[in-house]
A and B are shown apart, each in its own frame.
Chain A
Amino acid sequence: MKRKVEQPLIKDGRRVDGRAFDEMRPIKIEVGVLKRADGSCYFELGDNKVIAAVYGPRELHPRHYQDAKRAIIQYRYNMAPFSVDERKRPGPDRRSIEISKVSREALEPVIMTEFYPRTTIDIFVEVLQSDAGTRTAGINAASVALADAGIPMRGLVSAIAVGKVDGEIVLDLNAIEDNYGDADMPVAMIAKTNTITMIQMDGKMTREEIQKGLEIAKNACRKIYQMQREALISKYSEEIE
């Protein structure tokens, strides 16, 4: 953790961007933004801009990767080279390999893979602009894109990070808070059932802080779930009209 910052990250109970401790950045969701993909979603969380596409269920090659009982899920998280201050070298690095793995595992519990044996469902997430929180934005987008692709699901997955900044537990860290803060804990949940499908923590937190953070993240996931749901409903009700 880097501890070199000129101004305090919290002043008079407000954060660097003026938010309250449990306040999320604004969210914008658009469903079905790509023509070729079977399902897609554009998701903004503050200055994060991500786009998710779903292809499938479709045939999986090589064949020995096929599962006779269920579809396999492949998830690729990728950052555009221009999405960060210092150009990101194209292609997977260790960070994106790990994010792809945990994001796939965050969504697998809700996808009814047993309906499509021997196939693959491919999820591609592209980060176009980043400001801390891209993995959670990606999961939110992917979850909506899966529903848009008509994949049977047990529920929607919603994700958000909490963290510790200047000793306070705050919701949805931005890049400055993430860089200079003490801890970051991204969480993905099935809001309907309050179950955790992804959780990671990086930094230093006490037992009580984790509990408090999880509670804040849970409430935020419920709000995100409502927005995801509304975005899907509004797209499909438009189509009917």
Chain B
Amino acid sequence: MGSDIAEEMRRDYVCDLIRSGKRMDGRRFLEYREISVEKGVVKRAEGSARVKIGNTQVLVGVKMEIGEPFPDIPNEGVIITNAEFVPLASPEFEPGPPDENSVELARVVDRGIRGSHALDVESLCIEEGEKVWMIFIDIHVLDDDGNLVDASALGAIAALMNTRIPYERHGFSPREVNPKVDNLMVKYTPVAVTTVEIDGNILVDPNMFEESAADARLIVTSTEDGDISCIQKSGSGVLSENTFERMIDIAVEEAHRIRKIYLR
């Protein structure tokens, strides 16, 4: 909350470095931290992935259940995305109901997946108006060293690609099940890339200090065809039109790179 002295000093330090063309961890402005994606890390989940971006660590699990569709879309499966900022991940996280940051994160990840049509929601319909598959994407933040959104979005799509539909547990006999559709079909792979502007410079993948030094960040989620499936400006700063346009281009390009390496 309040702006204490240590925070201000850190902010000055980050900005001074950037003015001289450097970042505190030695990266170039448009250089992403090292990423790792491990799929299938939780046996009990239908799909899961642990994503690390530098020291930031997020675990995403997918569970599937059978439920009722929404009345206005009786022939579509349901996707529910939730994020928990558990207190073990940062001294700033407190137990309790989700705050605005975790709500925003979950909704941004959700929109990225939904907007990209990554999942064929109609194929998740079992009986129109009665029974559909409900996909729960749960984001568990383990360590917050900045840029939780990118890590969570990458974890979510990786976990979905890793998801096996739990037919047997829900009473479908193995014979009815077509082994080819045992895995959840993922048609597109949306990747979120966050950029910030500090002193007129655009930085990709801000770490925790850079994130708090920046007034505004832009999250852009894009798919393999270069289309955008979610945009969110976050933070109380402003963006010029020119910065906004450049941030989109940077994000789309970086998303292509990340997808090629980590979502094979």
A199 at the interface (CB under 8 A from B): yes
Task: Closest B residue to A196 by CB, please name it.
Answer: B239
B240 at the interface (CB under 8 A from A): yes
Alpha-carbon distance between A196 and B238 when the two chains are bound, in angstroms? 6
| Contact A200–B245 (Cβ < 8 Å) | no
Cβ–Cβ < 8 Å partners of A35 in chain B: none
A170 at the interface (CB under 8 A from B): no
What count of chain B residues pass the 8 Å CB interface test?
Answer: 40
Candidates A97, A105, A197; contact of B103 at CB < 8 Å = A97
Cβ–Cβ < 8 Å partners of B106 in chain A: 94
Cβ–Cβ < 8 Å partners of B1 in chain A: 64-65, 67
Residue from A69, A95, A201 whose CB has the most chain B CB atoms within 10 Å: A201
Known contacts: A196-B239, A204-B115, A204-B227. The answer to whether A98 contacts B233 by CB under 8 A is no
Candidates B232, B240, B245; contact of A211 at CB < 8 Å = B245
| Contact B239–A195 (Cβ < 8 Å) | yes
Candidates B107, B115, B228; contact of A206 at CB < 8 Å = B228
1/0 per residue, CB under 8 A from A, across B96-121: the answer is 00101101101100010011110000
A10 at the interface (CB under 8 A from B): no
Known contacts: A68-B3, A98-B104. The answer to whether A199 contacts B115 by CB under 8 A is no
Residue from B111, B226, B238 whose CB has the most chain A CB atoms within 10 Å: B238
| Contact A194–B3 (Cβ < 8 Å) | no
Alpha-carbon distance between A241 and B238 when the two chains are bound, in angstroms? 38
**Interchain nearest-CB distance for A39 vs B (Å):** 20
A218 at the interface (CB under 8 A from B): yes
Cβ–Cβ < 8 Å partners of B249 in chain A: 207
Candidates B218, B229, B244; contact of A203 at CB < 8 Å = B229
| Contact A214–B115 (Cβ < 8 Å) | no
1/0 per residue, CB under 8 A from A, across B1-15: the answer is 111000000000000
Candidates B2, B111, B239, B252; contact of A66 at CB < 8 Å = B2
A144 at the interface (CB under 8 A from B): no
Which of B1-34 touch A at CB < 8 Å? 1-3
Which of A188-212 touch B at CB < 8 Å? 190, 194-207, 210-211
| Contact A199–B231 (Cβ < 8 Å) | yes
B73 at the interface (CB under 8 A from A): yes
Cβ–Cβ < 8 Å partners of A137 in chain B: none
**Interchain nearest-CB distance for A154 vs B (Å):** 10
Cβ–Cβ < 8 Å partners of A64 in chain B: 1-2
B87 at the interface (CB under 8 A from A): no
Alpha-carbon distance between A38 and B137 when the two chains are bound, in angstroms? 43
Please list 9 pairs of residues, one from A and one from B, whose beta carbons are closer than 8 Å in the complex, sorted by A's number.
A66-B2, A98-B104, A105-B235, A196-B239, A196-B240, A200-B232, A202-B230, A205-B228, A207-B227
Beyond the given A197-B233, A198-B233, A207-B248, could you list 18 further A-B residue pairs with CB under 8 A, ordered by the A residue number? A1-B115, A97-B100, A98-B104, A100-B100, A101-B101, A102-B234, A105-B236, A109-B236, A196-B238, A196-B240, A200-B233, A202-B115, A204-B117, A204-B227, A206-B227, A207-B249, A210-B228, A210-B231
- Give A residues with C-beta under 8 Å from B: 1-2, 4, 64-69, 94-95, 97-98, 100-102, 104-105, 108-109, 183, 185, 190, 194-207, 210-211, 214, 218
- Give B residues with C-beta under 8 Å from A: 1-3, 72-73, 98, 100-101, 103-104, 106-107, 111, 114-117, 216, 218, 226-241, 244-245, 248-249, 252
